[in-house]
Amino acid sequence: MTDFFQDQPLRIAGYRFSSRLLVGTGKYKDFDETAEAIAASGAEVVTFAVRRTNLGQEEGPNLLDVVPPERFTLLPNTAGCYTAKDAVRTCKLARELLDGHKLVKLEVLGDDSTLYPNVVETLKAAEELIKDGFDVMVYTSDDPIVAQELERMGCCAIMPLGSLIGSGHGIQNPHNVRLIIEQSRVPVLVDAGIGTASDAAMAMELGCDGVLMNSAIAHARQPVLMASAMKKAVEAGREAFLAGRMPRRQSADPSSPFAGRING
């Protein structure tokens, strides 16, 4: 942020973050690239997946050594879960893995080809997790009524998709995202679909509280450079939102005065 302006922190479930860019840890070439990209992104919240340990293989470096819980706010996710039951189990395993950590990213998917959220299972899982004391940041469709219901249940952040996970198609329905932003009293973050810096800026200009992305950085030709671009895009979009854009006009409006022209 520019030095004359101090933004409010992003507040989620009692945490306060100065960065509004949240990043994933998947699809990188190796852990060095993961670490460099995260550093360049300035992200304070980092999401990861929970999977079976490879047994009988030499255990290499662990992701949690690359993103130590002492330095980052870790956000375990339930990626790959297709039922509420599996998502709840995964969150409980993550809580055990991180010694009681309560903040999770809930996503329950509908099918393999779209990875579209299954909102019925998502609602079930959210209810159970909240009852069990989890702070639930929820990945959902861009349906404002579903978003409203998830907020009513007690989710601490609503995270509608911009477009399909990993598609890089940007925000396909900005009107819905705006409806969700306008109605929500908890933070709204676009999660999924961001392709490039202008998509992230657009999310923030719409009034999102933050953006979560993985592929847009990890699958860029130069991930570390893209991470840096995303940091700036999120900051620029946030400042533009707060500054308030000029009204759109039907006709031109010169920036230089008419008076005093030499041909006048």
Positions marked catalytic:
105
CB 166 within 8 A of CB 215: yes
Least distance in Å: CB of 63 to other proteins?
5
The residues pairing with 140 across neighbouring beta strands, listed in sequence order, are 160
The reply, when asked if residue 166 is annotated as ligand binding, is yes
Compute the distance between CA of residue 124 and CA of residue 164 in angstroms, rounded to an integer: 22
- 3-class secondary structure, 106: strand
Instruction: Determine if 73 is a binding residue for other proteins (CB under 8 A).
Output: no
Angle at 104 between CA 164 and CA 127, to 5 degrees: 90
- Counting residues that bind other proteins (by CB under 8 A) gives 39
Which residue, among 21, 2, 18, has the nearest Cα to 197 in the 3D structure? 21
Q: Does 43 bind other proteins (CB under 8 A)?
A: no
DSSP 123-146: HHHHHHHHHTT-EEEEEE-S-HHH
> Has 260 been labeled as part of a binding site?
no
41 belongs to the binding site for other proteins (CB under 8 A): no
User: For other proteins, what does the binding mask look like between residues 112 and 151, x meaning CB under 8 A?
Assistant: ----------------------------------------
Q: Give Cβ neighbours of residue 240 (< 8 Å, ≥ 6 apart).
A: 201, 204, 205
Contact (Cβ atoms closer than 8 angstroms) between residue 105 and residue 81: no
72 makes contact with other proteins (CB under 8 A): no
Closer by beta carbon to other proteins, 42 or else 144: 42
Regarding 219 and contact with other proteins (CB under 8 A), the answer is no
- Dist. CA 160–CA 168, nearest whole Å: 15
Annotated binding residue 192? yes
Q: Which segment (73-81, 145-153, 222-230, 253-261) binds other proteins by CB under 8 A? A: 73-81
Task: Supply the minimum distance, in Å, between the C-beta of residue 253 and other proteins.
Answer: 43
| Under rule CB under 8 A, residue 164 binds other proteins | no
Position of tokens 């299954």?
118
Q: Look up residue 129 and give its two tokens.
A: 């997790």
Q: Which stretch binds other proteins (CB under 8 A): 7-15, 18-26, 173-181, 200-208?
A: 18-26
Q: Which residues bind other proteins (CB under 8 A)?
A: 23-28, 34, 47-53, 55-56, 59, 62-64, 74, 76-77, 79, 89, 92-97, 99, 165-166, 212-215, 218
* Binding site listing: 166, 192-193, 214-215
* Binding site listing for 1-deoxy-D-xylulose 5-phosphate: 166, 192-193, 214-215
